[in-house]
C-alpha cells in the first residue's frame, strides 16, 4: 500500500511539474502559416465562391485541416526529438487540451451543414469562442502573453455573432474569418516567437 501511495504521489508531482512548465511544442512558423492559410481561403471565397454554402464550407474545412496538420506535424517532430519524458508529456498534454475543442467544432459544423444550412453563418463566431476556451485552458503551459490571443478570439467571436450576418447572405462573409483566425494566428505567431523562440536563439543560430 505504501509503495502504491508513493507512486501516486510521484505521478501527481510529475503532473504538476508538467503544468508548471512552458511548452515549446508550438512554434511561430507553423502558427504563422496557419494564419496565412486563413487569408488565402478568404481571398478564394471572396473572388470565386461568393456565398455558395457548400463550396465555401468545403473550402474552410479544408483550410482548417491543412492548418491543423501543419501544427500537428511540427509537434510530432518535436515529440520524437524530445530528450526527456517531461517534454513529451507536455506535448501530449497540450494536444489533449485542444482535441475536445476540435472534436466539438467538427461535430457542430457537421450538424449545421446537414440540418440547418441557414445557420452556417454562426460558425466563425462559434469556432473562435471555442478556440479561445482551449487557449485559456492551456495558458499555464504557454507564455502569459498568449492570454491576449485568447481574448482576441473571444472578442472577435462575439463580434462575428453580432455583425457577421446579413439576411441576404447564405454563408458567412470572408472578413469574419480574416479578422478572427487570420489575425489571431499572426498574433499568436508573434507572441510565440517573441516570448520563446527569440530567447532560445539570442545569437540568431538555427534551433531545431
Whether 3 shows a pLDDT value over 70: the answer reads no
**Could you report the per-residue pLDDT of 39-81, keeping only the tens digit for each?**
999 999 888 887 678 888 999 999 999 999 988 898 888 888 8
Q: Where are the domains of the chain?
A: 24-198
CA–CA separation, 29 and 35 (whole Å)? 10
Whether 194 shows a pLDDT value over 60: the answer reads yes
More confident site: 33 or 205? 33
Over range 8-12, report the average pLDDT. 61
Banded model confidence at residue 37, pLDDT cuts 50, 70, 90: very high
Q: What pLDDT is recorded for position 200?
A: 64
Q: What pLDDT is recorded for position 163?
A: 86
**Could you report the per-residue pLDDT of 143-173, keeping only the tens digit for each?**
889 999 999 999 999 999 998 776 666 677 8
The mean pLDDT value of the chain amounts to 82
Q: What pLDDT is recorded for position 82?
A: 81
CA–CA separation, 119 and 179 (whole Å)? 20
Lowest mean pLDDT among 13-22, 60-69, 95-104, 162-171: 13-22
CA–CA separation, 79 and 40 (whole Å)? 29
Map the chain to HEC letters.
CHHHHHHHHHHHHHHHHHHHCCCCCCCHHHHHHHHHHHHHHHHHHHHHHCCCHHHHHHHHHHHHHHHHHHHHHHHHHHHHHCCCHHHHHHHHHHHHHHHHHHHHHHHHHHHHHHHCHHHHHHHHHHHHHHHHHHHHHCHHHCCCCHHHHHHHHHHHHHHHHHHCCCCCCCCCCHHHHHHHHHHHHHHHHHHHHHHHHHHHCCCCCCCC
Banded model confidence at residue 2, pLDDT cuts 50, 70, 90: low
Whether 117 shows a pLDDT value over 70: the answer reads yes
Amino acid at each position: 500500500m505504501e509503495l502504491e501511495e508513493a507512486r501516486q504521489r510521484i505521478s501527481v508531482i510529475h503532473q504538476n511539474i508538467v503544468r508548471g512548465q512552458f511548452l515549446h511544442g508550438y512554434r511561430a512558423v507553423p502558427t504563422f502559416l496557419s494564419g496565412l492559410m486563413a487569408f488565402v481561403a478568404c481571398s478564394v471565397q471572396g473572388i470565386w465562391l461568393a456565398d455558395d454554402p457548400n463550396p465555401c464550407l468545403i473550402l474552410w474545412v479544408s483550410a482548417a485541416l491543412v492548418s491543423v496538420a501543419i501544427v500537428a506535424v511540427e509537434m510530432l517532430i518535436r515529440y520524437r526529438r524530445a530528450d526527456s519524458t517531461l517534454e513529451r508529456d507536455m506535448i501530449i498534454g497540450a494536444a489533449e487540451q485542444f482535441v475536445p475543442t476540435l472534436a466539438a467544432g467538427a461535430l457542430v459544423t457537421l450538424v449545421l451543414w446537414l440540418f440547418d444550412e441557414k445557420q452556417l453563418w454562426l460558425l466563425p463566431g462559434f469556432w473562435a469562442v471555442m478556440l479561445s476556451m482551449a487557449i485559456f485552458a492551456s495558458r499555464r503551459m504557454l507564455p502569459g502573453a498568449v492570454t491576449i490571443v485568447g481574448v482576441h478570439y473571444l472578442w472577435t467571436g462575439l463580434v462575428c455573432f453580432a455583425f457577421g450576418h446579413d439576411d441576404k447572405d447564405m454563408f458567412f462573409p470572408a472578413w469574419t474569418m480574416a479578422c478572427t483566425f487570420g489575425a489571431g494566428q499572426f498574433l499568436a505567431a508573434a507572441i510565440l516567437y517573441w516570448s520563446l523562440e527569440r530567447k532560445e536563439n539570442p545569437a540568431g543560430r538555427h534551433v531545431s
